[in-house]
Structure 1
Amino acid sequence: MPNPKTDPPAVQPQSEHIDQSHLIGSVGYCCLQAYLEIVPNIRKQLAKLQLRPVEYTVLSLINSNPLINQKRLGQTIRVSPPNLATLLDRMQSDGLIDRQRNPNDRRSQILALTPKGQETCRKAENVAAKADITPTLTDAEREQLTRLLIKVFHP
């Protein structure tokens, strides 16, 4: 017979299920869990092109917004100027982008894709389009989720 004064209490085996019911109603928690599910897949797919998600984002934005300036790009992707400068330095040394002084405002730098950057962007967009990051959703659900998320970050 166990002695309650000297024997530790018996540990009951934990069930496989973790109760998250108090968190599931939180949009922030659900977004974080979705992010943690989606981003590793995107990273894995883009790594085949030696790209990180932020570099793909930069390539895509420059491609869609010719001659965007460095300041607007940083504001759009919410990267601080020093961190953006480091990122753009690396992308320029990799031959993906080109930075030039804006002829209309010498304080500003405009960004453009190099031919290598254009090709890499095209390949990355194909990879991203094929990455099945929401396999449990129907096309209609995926479109609805996208619309709702856009309302959150771009009201």
Structure 2
Amino acid sequence: MVRDREPRPPSPERPLGHLLGRAHSRLTRMTAEALAPHGVDGHELTVLAVLADGEVLSQADAAARLGVDRTTMVSLIDGLEDHALVERRRSPHDRRRNLVTLTPLGEECLRQAERARRAAEHLFLAPLDEQTAAALRRALGTLVPEERPPVPLP
């Protein structure tokens, strides 16, 4: 005897964490593709932006601003220095500290890569109308308040 199946209940909403994770993965992929021609990744772009903030920072100060450990920061700065995007010099006041500044090539890379990052974000948000995209940014900003003001980019 074949029984009639009871209708399935509607599937529950996809969990927010799942949706946010998938959105983050997609945006990260799109951003990585946009930054690749500029020879930097998202982490390196963030370091360049912090170093362009207007004040000369030591590696340790930059690491603290970014919330990364010193070992990670040394690795990031090494890579940027290898590509002539930043330069280190000893602090005249404390020989144990390395001050890090952008080179002219680093400043140009930052400008171009930041433009590419913004374009990737725009493409990511393209399925939404402007009001919805702005509302999404506001809502996420409310849920994830900044600890410090954003780094102004050129």
TM bucket, shorter chain? 0.7 to 0.9
Q: How many residues of Structure 1 are paired with residues of Structure 2 in the alignment?
A: 136
> Where in structure 1 do 4 or more consecutive aligned residues deviate above 6 Å?
none
Alignment match, 2:15: 23
Q: Quick one: which amino acid aligns to residue 53 of structure 1?
A: G
Q: Is the 8 A contact 1:134 1:142 kept in 2?
A: no
TM-score, structure 2 length as denominator?
Answer: 0.74
Alignment match, 2:126: 135
Does 2:78 align with 1:89? yes
Q: Is the 8 A contact 1:45 1:127 kept in 2?
A: yes
Shift of 1:134: 2.0
TM-score, structure 1 length as denominator?
Answer: 0.74
Change (3 A) 1:98 1:20: farther
**Matches of 1:21 and 1:101, distance apart in 2:** 55
**Matches of 2:32 and 2:20, distance apart in 1:** 18
Alignment match, 2:38: 49
**Matches of 1:134 and 1:149, distance apart in 2:** 19
Does 2:105 align with 1:116? yes
5+ long unaligned stretches in structure 2: 1-10, 149-154
Change (3 A) 1:106 1:31: farther
The 3-state SS of whatever aligns with 1:148 is helix
Q: Quick one: which amino acid aligns to residue 147 of structure 2?
A: H
Shift of 1:96: 0.3
Return the structure number with greater relative CO, CA threshold 8 A, min gap 6.
2
Alignment match, 1:71: 60
**Matches of 1:103 and 1:30, distance apart in 2:** 49
Q: Quick one: which amino acid aligns to residue 69 of structure 1?
A: S
**Matches of 1:149 and 1:73, distance apart in 2:** 25
Identity of aligned residues (%): 23
Shift of 1:34: 2.3
**Matches of 1:45 and 1:37, distance apart in 2:** 12
Shift of 1:82: 1.3
Alignment match, 1:147: 141
Q: Is the 8 A contact 1:42 1:133 kept in 2?
A: no
- Name the larger-Rg structure: 1
Q: Is the 8 A contact 1:45 1:128 kept in 2?
A: yes
Shift of 1:20: 5.9
5+ long unaligned stretches in structure 1: 1-18
**Matches of 2:31 and 2:139, distance apart in 1:** 18
Q: Any idea what the Cα deviations from partners look like across 1:53-90, whole Å, max 9, x if unmatched?
A: 11111111111243122112212223221121112111
